[in-house]
Structure 1
């Protein structure tokens, strides 16, 4: 009897596992109830089903909805009395599948729609065996704002492509589409009162191509590209039919060059201006004078009429204060209103806009920088530079959406930068997205209420067509959806990864160009016996990994991977995944330069920015030199901070030279180090200065520093690398804190 019970339990477990295999985001609860339902050729629809949602289901499910036969299954629905919007109940649903029928229970049409999304995934999962296990799914989201952003200013996407993007959100139960419509490089929305915005601002003479440091352009006119107001209405309705809110973004007071090109009188200087051909941040911004506010209010009137969203996104990020400092009108405003400085002037600007938007029955949301000088009374914050903006907002009882670049910027690399298309920078693989918890760990229940949700952003400087949009969001959007729904379990990442791979079959049928980066071999440097070893992994069977140590192609002759590979000398390791002797992945290549610091214990007095902290301090002694064209996982980035690193060599060691690199990429606010000093100690207390260098020498060397330190014999090596400080006028990001990027610190 026990044996029979065990077999039944195993069968139920198998059915439960099968039921969950395809589902993303994972539901809160799945209970297998016994038996199966045969997938019919024709589904019978009960009376009273929500119309728009059912029409969507007809299009996506693949069912025949003709005249039903006697044995056909029926789809039925019960709508409960709607409670106050509490803990996601308005989006909650119950999906009951019995051998006789499919029944959905929800409070709202939105809950019914999410139930249909789950049902569609189940039908896709079981299409071959023609039967679904009988089950009951109880489900509701944890977070109210589950968003995806799309920048159409740097590169434009058609109405049909935007609709496809919205369909992707619906597939994975995301409910907010953040449409970034204006920026320095293009104004993309028709404003009837100001036709020159699209006549002039929707085109540029050329576009930057390749890595920013190359400073090369395609020489091709871009545009005019923009959405008419009728097209905007079409998109908003399309999203609404899928229970997705479209939040428009009209950038201010910075990122305004496209608008100033059309109406230069809105600037602090006379111009002329033109839409930017480079990426980055520019000094010319809106001048906070009355005609500017009149212009923006008129623009917002037309925007508000088109978008029924509660929130209007007004940008507010990366606004250099250079022009305001030089502007007599701006300085008079600071004196007149007793503002502290130009940051206070930004707060004045945002408050003026908020008052107007509030008068129209709407609220504003903006990037972190709207906190500068004090947050407007009813504003919400979109926290992108890290989590601190959201934490500060919530602690002062302002709502926040968490979208930190370290986890939620999908313009970052998602695999080995050497095998990926050119991207903006950073390194945000699938597992990192999945590991994110939008609710800060230190928050109590009351503070957590102010975290509205989470969003991923897709900036398109290096994304020129929609196929590349697909590549950058898939599969990372699946991880975001489960994080937002609240059922992610980072400790069970491999289980999630297997569901992602299973979803690839659906993406193939939809002809979606998704990234296959998780199939590639990834490498991680780990400490090993006082040095380093290279640990390889893949989403596939690890026994299929093969590698070489001499930089040769592993498809010719290579060694099977068994355990982390000791890296004892400078070398190049190439690796790839094979099945039945056939190469099945890209070939990954990693060059190592071994020195006397490699793999040694290192501490930092100040930690790097969250966005550029991959690997932490160990990145500086992992034997890998940073690629100046790729700000992925080989550099540490520090904004406004010096690097002070102490390396324990393990014992007294002889060395005569210390080396490191810093990066020069002013368009991204990254500046060479201002100075550097090297110290040596026997006891980690008393340090002697043994070498130093200044700005001129660093500039002459292009940031590639080799410091002669004489004949040294010590255990502890300390290096201080000074940040450039505040970015001077005439540079992108002037008046902001400079970034300092540092890679390997070595000793010879």
Structure 2
């Protein structure tokens, strides 16, 4: 009997080992664990019929831990490849190109694929398995059948705000390849710099590739470094080299040439392309500027000549033409533009933008290529064959797909990697927003509003890295890792938000690979994150960490936490103003950054709140409760503590639970015109006992808000009511002379308090 139990125990142990999921990212569509193990030999014998270029990549990636030998003897080969015929009736042409299978048995590894591209993707899976089992030298036997869900799995890099060398761009491409992304969106021109050599127009790089200085620090500081920047650009030979490098990794490079807006660097070199005479210079600060390309014949000749050289360099099917954030101020004041609107029976300046884009599209189509642009190219009507990159939210992609146009989903709320990824107080300065790893992993690129036929027009997903606040490549690494891994699995179609913790464990297992590569990845998931929830007498502050929560220590008196501080055992009640500092300790040592959260408790803190209009998805973290969570917004960090509304008023109703005495109401609003954020136009406070019939008790106008610099504290007299309603009026359409003129202003609001 004892022997039987021993044998049974051994059998279950073998089965358990065989069923352990591999730590792969992106996780394959199908993994079937088998009995047995492939023992990694000191010398891996490669069949000499393997695709050569891709196999050289394998050797480079594993060369430090495995020796290699080629052989024509299939009996002794450890790694073989079976070339499958292309399907006669492909179900998914792009997916079939990228599909592969791996059969790992105790004797050998067999990769099957239709194409070299599929073989290369299989190698990425194989490399991860070798890295995972490098220590024990045993890879469990398994069968993997795999292909991506989405044809476009992209990452973008802005090299205009800050420039990155050819070697750094190649490293970036390597990161994409490691996690099976297949598209590199290279943002090459913008207001702050022109980065691609155009031989016909040498002044683009002689003048447009430099600026006299750069904005530094938080935008609200409005400070500059006083240092000339540039000239920085890529020669056409360098671009050819990068394209070849990407092709070897089966990555398509999509170049972006911005038009009609974001054109200051081009206008600094060729001012005759503007509506006014200039002079112009490349922008030294971030934001949106009124001077744009003028839609006249010489401008189109210029852009067509530029596109000729771009198309000759880049073999990609799509050419990105920008199309975003184009103020119409100059066009409204330009006699030529107004004449063009009349002559072509255009409705307005938005119609002129559509005219501009459609004219460029016809030219690009005549060269056998297609255009893709940010979702503002929908303004005034979408060009007939254009694809849309939906960034302002998901609506651009929905509109495109419903009208039979292809779209790539890249909404800022999920796909902007220039946002904060951890507690903004312990993170490097970032653009704003809050996009942690779990939020990216939760994203589904197929909007629920689309039916099955319409969903076919969603080509895939992409994340964007704008570099206003990213000055060197180490910071690039920090901002994309590990978030790129979440994007990878979303694009592959195997993400499962319900099992996020399991994904997070696989991410942590990948860190040893990044360590080996000396990648400066963010360790935000090791830091403590906090969540505020309503409670009977204030709020509850819950702390979370990826490790054992018993390692959390915290203080509530503002002192730094130590191993001797209070042990976290559950939500921290907050019923009065205090500062919580927390950190994670392991083996008696500090293992995380110290997280600091200040609470300012008032009579509204933790109470029920409703909003008549919802905030923008990019700035909606925590929803309406953010306005009564006891946290005052930090004007330098538009991360977790503010709600942002574009073109909308804030109308918030707070239920105090019972009739309550108060004499002061406070809230903050922001001004940051370079980012289209304007102070409120007015504010009104109302009270009610039944939540239906409200009486206004206070009103202030723009001048008072301006004088208070957005920090509003209002004496409302002695009041006693159950409900408080606050209406904060958006500034509306941004007036001429301001960045983003004619666009909807942003209104940011933080905590609404009462005392």
TM-score interval w.r.t. the shorter chain? over 0.9
Structure 1 partner of 2:86: 82
TM-score by structure 2 length? 0.97
Structure 1 partner of 2:200: 193
Structure 1 partner of 2:22: 20
Query: For the residues of structure 1 that align with 2:76 and 2:566, how far apart are their CA atoms?
Result: 57
Structure 1 partner of 2:51: 50
Give the conservation status (yes or no) of the 8 Å contact 1:40–1:73.
no
Question: Is 1:526 aligned to residue 533 of structure 2?
Answer: yes
Secondary structure (helix, strand or coil) at the match of 1:24 reads: coil
- After superposition, give the CA deviation of every residue in 1:365-407 in whole Å (9 maximum; x if it has no partner): 0001000000000000000000000001001010000000000
Give the conservation status (yes or no) of the 8 Å contact 2:563–2:585.
no
Structure 2 partner of 1:495: 502
- After superposition, give the CA deviation of every residue in 1:529-567 in whole Å (9 maximum; x if it has no partner): 252110000111100001000100112752100010000
Secondary structure (helix, strand or coil) at the match of 1:343 reads: helix
Give the conservation status (yes or no) of the 8 Å contact 2:552–2:568.
yes
TM-score by structure 1 length? 0.98
Query: For the residues of structure 1 that align with 2:737 and 2:514, how far apart are their CA atoms?
Result: 47
- After superposition, give the CA deviation of every residue in 1:641-688 in whole Å (9 maximum; x if it has no partner): 000000000011111111000001111000000000000000011101
Question: Is 1:653 aligned to residue 660 of structure 2?
Answer: yes
The 1:196/1:103 distance shift into structure 2, 3 A limit, reads: same
Q: Structure 2: which 5+ residue stretches go unaligned?
A: none
Structure 1 partner of 2:232: 225
1:124-523 superposed matches below 5 A? 124-523=131-530
Residue 721 of structure 1 deviates from its aligned partner by: 0.2
Query: For the residues of structure 2 that align with 1:182 and 1:9, how far apart are their CA atoms?
Result: 60
Secondary structure (helix, strand or coil) at the match of 2:632 reads: coil
Query: For the residues of structure 2 that align with 1:620 and 1:516, how far apart are their CA atoms?
Result: 29
Residue 580 of structure 1 deviates from its aligned partner by: 2.0
Query: For the residues of structure 1 that align with 2:375 and 2:651, how far apart are their CA atoms?
Result: 27
Query: For the residues of structure 1 that align with 2:270 and 2:477, how far apart are their CA atoms?
Result: 35
Structure 1 partner of 2:35: 34
Secondary structure (helix, strand or coil) at the match of 2:657 reads: strand
Residue 5 of structure 1 deviates from its aligned partner by: 5.7
1:622-633 superposed matches below 5 A? 622-633=629-640
Give the conservation status (yes or no) of the 8 Å contact 1:401–1:454.
yes
Query: For the residues of structure 1 that align with 2:75 and 2:90, how far apart are their CA atoms?
Result: 39
The 1:502/1:187 distance shift into structure 2, 3 A limit, reads: same
Query: For the residues of structure 2 that align with 1:33 and 1:642, how far apart are their CA atoms?
Result: 60
Residue 33 of structure 1 deviates from its aligned partner by: 1.5
Query: For the residues of structure 2 that align with 1:210 and 1:362, how far apart are their CA atoms?
Result: 40
Which sits farther off after the overlay, 575-584 or 626-635? 575-584
Secondary structure (helix, strand or coil) at the match of 2:439 reads: helix
Residue 14 of structure 1 deviates from its aligned partner by: 3.0
Query: For the residues of structure 2 that align with 1:44 and 1:4, how far apart are their CA atoms?
Result: 36
1:534-545 superposed matches below 5 A? 534-545=541-552
Query: For the residues of structure 1 that align with 2:404 and 2:482, how far apart are their CA atoms?
Result: 34
Structure 2 partner of 1:117: 124
The 1:85/1:665 distance shift into structure 2, 3 A limit, reads: farther
Query: For the residues of structure 2 that align with 1:6 and 1:455, how far apart are their CA atoms?
Result: 47
Secondary structure (helix, strand or coil) at the match of 2:177 reads: helix
Structure 2 partner of 1:100: 107
Q: Structure 1: which 5+ residue stretches go unaligned?
A: none
Structure 1 partner of 2:566: 559
Residue 85 of structure 1 deviates from its aligned partner by: 4.8
The 1:366/1:187 distance shift into structure 2, 3 A limit, reads: same
> What is the aligned counterpart of 1:586 among 585, 593, 600?
593
Query: For the residues of structure 2 that align with 1:41 and 1:554, how far apart are their CA atoms?
Result: 48
Secondary structure (helix, strand or coil) at the match of 2:43 reads: coil
Query: For the residues of structure 1 that align with 2:251 and 2:619, how far apart are their CA atoms?
Result: 32
Task: Compute the RMSD of aligned alpha carbons.
Answer: 1.4
Query: For the residues of structure 1 that align with 2:215 and 2:51, how far apart are their CA atoms?
Result: 48
Length, aligned pairs only = 746
- After superposition, give the CA deviation of every residue in 1:690-740 in whole Å (9 maximum; x if it has no partner): 111000000000000011111111111101000000001111111100000
The 1:647/1:29 distance shift into structure 2, 3 A limit, reads: same
Secondary structure (helix, strand or coil) at the match of 1:470 reads: helix
- After superposition, give the CA deviation of every residue in 1:217-260 in whole Å (9 maximum; x if it has no partner): 00001000000001000101100110000000000000000000
